[in-house]
Chain A
């Protein structure tokens, strides 16, 4: 039996063939609609299990809710969460709610994986191709929504992206021998790329123009609707990145913290075409794209072309 931790999930080997993945995540509302918030928070919590190649099996609600609000709102949040758990094929067996001034919701999720098939966020090999399974920009669009400057179209696009499960992407990746995988969340795309690159001792070459973006995210970024988290991510990661001539708004989006972002996988080049075709067929709603390649280590961990 071994114990290993990576990111925010723990992996515990039970037998030669079964390891348990345990993770918990919860946050304050990112959208106004309680049912949608429940869906997004649940998709985000379940994602940690998918990012490690696991199958979520059991989920528990973890919630905080103020006394002064209608309890029906809490019911809507939980209903949204339950729906996503069901879609994931896991069972929701209960949970715990405490009283708090600001609503919070998320899940504690247990999943299973074969111990030899746990995906790590390291192991990228030079020549590998990087595939991202969701567009980025949810932090910026959420900021624009807060500022009441977002169009309904952009707001809905962000919701669709945040609420979608990484289940389908995971089911495609597991049919191939992928080198590494992570989910793109709070550190932003470049933060997670930097983590992957340094842990794998390689340099990631990205094509910023090919990274799919949530609708209108770029124009909101150039209007200065950039959340504080993006600046913190930038401060932390900037020294590891050779940004070349990448334009400012795109850089802001690449540092933008993501809520329930997509999977970022490093895959062998000969499988890349087939994987992308399968991902697109499996989930035509979400944009999948090749965003870069893995190179031998050079001066910076990330190079933007």
Chain B
């Protein structure tokens, strides 16, 4: 059996229209229709948010000067109206994740934590890291960012043989970021030659957002 409930919230100040709507939604017991009359645009938006959050289909219209009607329909799957807020939030997050995945290209970042590549012979390691940075310049799809920390920080500073390739990458839009705490520690603050200084929060944020992290 379907019900139609009318709520008059004309002249009610925020948040009373929302309270009245919530009560009426509970009365519908999961299925039916509800119309809410309010006298301002803010109430329209707040009531719409509340109803959408409760799983309803919402439409609103201005009837006359200072009179709005919000129509809410509950589908009647038994859960609408009582839906847990957390669940709604999860759904919103999922939607957001889908959106991001579908629309944007993959976030790839390169993380360099040492001035040499691999362990074994240090001299060889330094030759390898130079080769690695050069190889990055040859990738079809360049990474979005390159992060340098701890020993890696010297590669972006004066005297490094990787500067030319890194400047080349930067010129092509790759963001080169070096950890500020590390530059401080090695006394390299004034010697940074390419890209800009970053901090641990930005580093973690970048790693967290990345779809792929490449490490030499």
Question: Which residues of A line the B interface, CB within 8 A?
Answer: 127, 129, 143-144, 146-149, 207, 210, 218-219, 221-228, 231, 245, 247-249, 269-274, 276, 289-290, 293, 305
Which of chain A's residues has its CB closest to B199's CB? Answer: A272
Q: A222 to B50, alpha carbons, bound, how many Å?
A: 6
A271 — nearest CB in chain B belongs to which residue?
Answer: B180
Contact between B42 and A228, CB atoms less than 8 A apart? yes
Whether, in the assembled complex, B59 has its beta carbon less than 8 Å from a beta carbon of chain A, the answer is: no
Q: Is the CB of A225 within 8 A of B15?
A: yes
20 contacts between A and B (CB under 8 A): A129-B202, A148-B19, A149-B19, A222-B49, A223-B18, A224-B15, A224-B45, A224-B51, A225-B18, A228-B14, A231-B41, A231-B45, A269-B198, A269-B199, A271-B180, A273-B199, A274-B181, A290-B199, A293-B202, A305-B209
Q: How far is the CA of A149 from the CA of B22 in the complex (A)?
A: 10
Which of A147, A148, A227, A247 has a CB less than 8 Å from the CB of B92? A247
Point out the residues of chain B lying under 8 angstroms from A231, CB to CB: 41-42, 45
Tell whether, in the assembled complex, residue B18 and residue A147 are in contact, meaning their CB atoms are under 8 Å apart: yes
> Does B88 touch A at the CB level, under 8 Å?
yes
Known: A245-B100, A290-B201. A273 touches B14 (CB 8 A): no
The size of the chain B interface, using a CB distance under 8 A, is 40
Residue in chain B with minimal CB distance to A218: B89
Measured CA separation A113–B51 after assembly (Å): 51
Q: Which of A219, A227, A274, A290 contacts B14 (CB 8 A)?
A: A227
34-57 of chain B: CB within 8 A of chain A: 41-42, 45-51, 53
Binary contact readout B15-32 vs A (1 if CB under 8 angstroms, 0 otherwise): 110110110000000000
Complex interface bits, B86-121 against A, C-beta within 8 A gives 1, otherwise 0:
101100110010011000000000000000000000
Is B210 an interface position by the 8 A CB rule? no
Q: How far is the CA of A149 from the CA of B15 in the complex (A)?
A: 10
> Are A146 and B15 touching (Cβ within 8 A)?
yes
Cα distance, A148 to B18, chains bound together (Å): 11
A145 and chain B: residue at smallest CB distance: B15
CB distance from A201 to the nearest CB of B (A): 18
Residues of A within 8 A of B184 (CB): 270
The 8 Å CB contact of A224, one of B49, B88, B181, is B49
B176 contacts the other chain (Cβ, under 8 Å)? no
A127 x B197 contact (CB < 8 A): yes
Contact check, A245 vs B96: say whether CB atoms are below 8 A apart.
yes
For the complex, is B205 an interface residue (Cβ under 8 Å from A)?
yes
Instruction: Please give, as numbers and ranges, the residues of chain B lying within 8 Å of A149 by CB-CB distance.
Output: 15, 19, 22
A-B pairs with the 6 shortest C-beta distances?
A: A270-B180, A224-B50, A224-B49, A224-B46, A290-B201, A272-B199
Q: Are B19 and A147 in contact (CB under 8 A)?
A: yes
- A227, B43: Cα distance in complex, Å: 10
Contacting pair B18 A273 (CB below 8 A): no
Give chain A nearest CB distance to B36 CB in angstroms: 11
Chain A residues whose CB sits within 8 angstroms of the CB of B46 once the complex forms: 224-226
Residue of B nearest to A232 (CB): B42
Is B196 on the interface with A (CB-CB < 8 A)?
Answer: yes
Name the distance in Å between A142's Cβ and chain B's nearest Cβ: 10
B-chain residues with CB within 8 Å of residue A218 when the two chains form the complex:
89
Alpha-carbon gap, A225 to B51, bound state (A): 12
Contact between chains at A219 and B45 (CB < 8 Å): no
A219 to B53, CA, bound (A): 9
Measured in the bound complex, the distance between the Cα atoms of B45 and A225 in whole Å is 10
Known contacts A222-B49, A224-B53, A245-B99, A273 near B189 by CB under 8 Å: no
Partner of B45, one of A143, A226, A273: A226
A127 and B175 alpha carbons, distance in the complex (Å):
12
Query: B183 on the interface (CB 8 Å rule)?
Result: yes
Q: In the assembled complex, how far is the CB of residue A45 from the closest CB belonging to chain B, in whole angstroms?
A: 26
Which A residues are CB-close (under 8 A) to B88? 222
Which residue of chain B has its CB nearest to the CB of A144?
B15
Cβ contacts under 8 Å, A276 to chain B: 201
Which of B16, B184, B205 has the most A CB atoms < 10 Å from its CB? Answer: B205
Minimum Cβ distance to chain A for residue B167 (Å)? 18
The residue that A272 contacts in the complex, of B21, B42, B180, B189, with Cβ under 8 A, is: B180
CA distance A272 to B88 in the complex (A): 35
